[in-house]
Structure formats: C-alpha cells, structure tokens
Structure 1
Amino acid sequence: MRLLAVNETLPEAAQALSLLNERNESVRFGSLLGGQPSVFVFLRHFGCIACSEHITAWKPRFAEFERLGICIALIGNGTVEHLKGFVDRYGLAEEPVQTLTDPTLELHRMLSLKHSIASTISPWSIKNALRAFGHGHWQKTVEGDPMQQGGLLIVDSEKRVQLIHREKAVGDFMDVSDVFDAAVKLITLDSEEVL
C-alpha cells in the first residue's frame, strides 16, 4: 500500500470508512472533514499506559483548539464498551472532542499506521512505558489491539493532509504544543487566502 503524503487529498476510500462512537452509532470518517482544519489523534488501545499519558497532555488543551475552530477527534481501536470506559475514565463526555473507535483497524491500515510486535516491545517502547509509569500512569487492561501503534493526522479545510505522524513505538506521540502550532498555521494560511 502506498504511503499517504503531505498535500495529498485524503482518499475517498478513507473518507467513506465508518467508525463507531460511544453510542454505537456509525460515523463516516469523511463527515469529520471539511470547512475547518481537523486533528485526528490515533490511540493505540483504550487501556494503553502511553495513551493515558498522551490523553492527560491533550485534555487541558482541547478548549484552545475549539476556540480556533479546529475539530479534534480521538480514534482508538477497541470495542464500543472499551471506548465508553475510556470516555468515562478521562472525563471526555463534556470536552470539545469527538471520541471514536475503528475496531476493524481499516482506517489505521489505510493511513499505514505501524502494527507489529517489534514496535510494541522495542527498547524505545519499554523506555516510553517507563516514562509514563514514572508520570503516574498505569496499564491495567488491554482494550483493543496491543500491536497497533498510534499516530496523528492533520487535515486542512480542503481535506488535504498537512501533517501525518506514524508512531514507531509505544509512546512515540507528538507534543501537543507542536500539533497546536501546526494547526494554527493552517488557520493563518486560510485567513491569508481570504484576503
């Protein structure tokens, strides 16, 4: 499968894929796109120690993205029940963020997000898991595919990929401030095009 590249329009096949929300409703991925920049945070699985660390970094920043009109969606790969537990555990129901699951991993595959044993148990993964543990995070269960790595996708208002980060190991996520800066640049560019 060819890697999706920056400045490429998100393929129709990806836009047509269905995800599930915590009410077990089907949500077409393409319905989350267009009209404003969108940030998609792909989690490993809903019980992941590194994802716990990751979501803790993101949660205080959701409102900043919302104020700028940037759509944010968190996408994992467990069951709807796992998703519900995740939303409850991190108090996401009242946050300006969509939470979804891709239990088939089809969207993860289309974006070429890493899926392997080696990436899950690499020295880098172990180091990052220890970092998360040191920050007070725990993993009690596996709630999805533990071999699936996460990633991040930023799509502009015209459905063009502006940034894609494919995590190489557990906990290899982008800093939220760097994501915010990249999203703000899109808004600045859109404003300049209007002028």
Structure 2
Amino acid sequence: MITSYHPDLTHEDLNRILSNRGETLAELSASAPVLMVFLRHLGCTFCRETLADLQRVRSDLESQGVIIALVHMSSDLAARTMFARYGLEDVPRFADRHRKLYRAFGLRRGTLGQIFGPVNWKRAFEAGVGSRHGVGKLQGNGFQMPGVFLIDQGTIVAGHAHLQVSDRPDYRKLIPIRA
C-alpha cells in the first residue's frame, strides 16, 4: 500500500547531511529523481528484505532515470558491508545516526504495536526464515520507523511512511509513468 505522505521539507533539511559521495540531498535530487529509502536498523529482517526488494527492482528504477539512495543509522563501514550483500554498495547512502533526516521526513519512533504487533511476527517469520534474510545485531534505534520518498528537484512527489515495520511497499508504484 502506498500512502500519500508529503512532509514539508526546508532547504536546511535537504542540505543537512552529506552522502558517502559528499553530495547533499538537494544536489542529488537536482540531477535526477531520488528514491530515498529510510531503513530500520541493519540487523532487522525487514531492513534486509527491503534491500533485497530494491536489488530486484533496481534496473527498472534506473531505466526510468531514478537514483536509489539509502538512509541508515549505522557506521558507513557497516552499511557498505551490508549493502554489498545485496549489490547496493554503489548507491548513495546517508549515515544518520542521530536520526535528523528521519525526523525531518516525519518518520518517528514506532509504538509497541507497530514494532511487535501480531502482523509483524508473522511477517518476521516469512522474511527472516522463509526468505532467509535472518536477523542481526541491533545497530541504531530499534524503534525507528522506516519510509520511502520520491524526491525530484528538492520536492517530495510521492511517499510512504510505514504503518507497521513489516510494510512492504511496491517501489515502482511511487514512480510516475513518464511519456
């Protein structure tokens, strides 16, 4: 399910943090639309499922001129290592250990129900065991909710703030069809 979710971003928000390449979000989105994916902690099975999903749709997104960028709460080394497992080590990544970008995009800490609710237990088993994403060490805030936003020219044009940590948005549906 894709929700219409558009927080108001300021110029300061778009220039708040540099990517591993030394670019701000404002600079990155000036060159092409950016699918900004805010991850849960890297040990989370749903974070790993998200990375696998992005790996699967990456060529479709890039063929439409979309840049995938990842926001995480870990060290750059830990993120690069994890992203390499999914063939995503070369995408722009933003280390946000203090969650400033998460907050700027309106992504908050989840409730107990959003993190540990029954639907999440079922999905955790499916993702962690069934799809073999496993779980790992907590790196970052375990209550941080994820989300995804399409940003073009510094403006959010589509977005999804997860209602449950186990939400699995179809990233291609966030991208407008280009004529």
Scaled to the shorter chain, the TM-score interval is 0.7 to 0.9
Instruction: Output the CA distance in 1 between the equivalents of 2:134 and 2:48.
Output: 8
Instruction: Output the CA distance in 1 between the equivalents of 2:101 and 2:147.
Output: 12
Rate the CA distance shift 1:160–1:9 in 2: closer, same or farther, 3 A.
Answer: farther
Mapping of 1:25-174 within 5 angstroms?
26-94=22-90, 97-118=91-112, 119-133=114-128, 134-156=130-152, 158-174=153-169
Instruction: Output the CA distance in 2 between the equivalents of 1:149 and 1:181.
Output: 20
Structure (1 or 2) with the larger CA radius of gyration: 1
Instruction: Output the CA distance in 1 between the equivalents of 2:19 and 2:56.
Output: 24
* Partner residue, 1:193: none
* Partner residue, 1:11: 10
Superposition deviation, residue 171 in structure 1: 1.8
Superposition deviation, residue 17 in structure 1: 0.8
Structure 2 unaligned segments of length 5 or more: list them.
Answer: none
TM-score scaled by structure 2? 0.84
- Please provide the CA RMSD for this pair: 2.3
Identity within the alignment, %: 24
Instruction: Output the CA distance in 2 between the equivalents of 1:5 and 1:92.
Output: 26
Instruction: Output the CA distance in 2 between the equivalents of 1:99 and 1:63.
Output: 18
* Aligned-partner residue type, residue 130 of structure 1: F
Contact 2:97 2:140 (C-alpha < 8 Å) held by counterparts: yes
Contact 1:37 1:183 (C-alpha < 8 Å) held by counterparts: no
TM-score scaled by structure 1? 0.78
Q: Deviations over 1:59-99 (max 9, x none)?
A: 022122222211111111112232122123323235xx323
Rate the CA distance shift 1:150–1:19 in 2: closer, same or farther, 3 A.
Answer: farther
Contact 1:114 1:168 (C-alpha < 8 Å) held by counterparts: no
- How many residue pairs match? The answer is 174
* Partner residue, 1:192: none
Instruction: Output the CA distance in 1 between the equivalents of 2:86 and 2:139.
Output: 15
Instruction: Output the CA distance in 2 between the equivalents of 1:155 and 1:29.
Output: 9
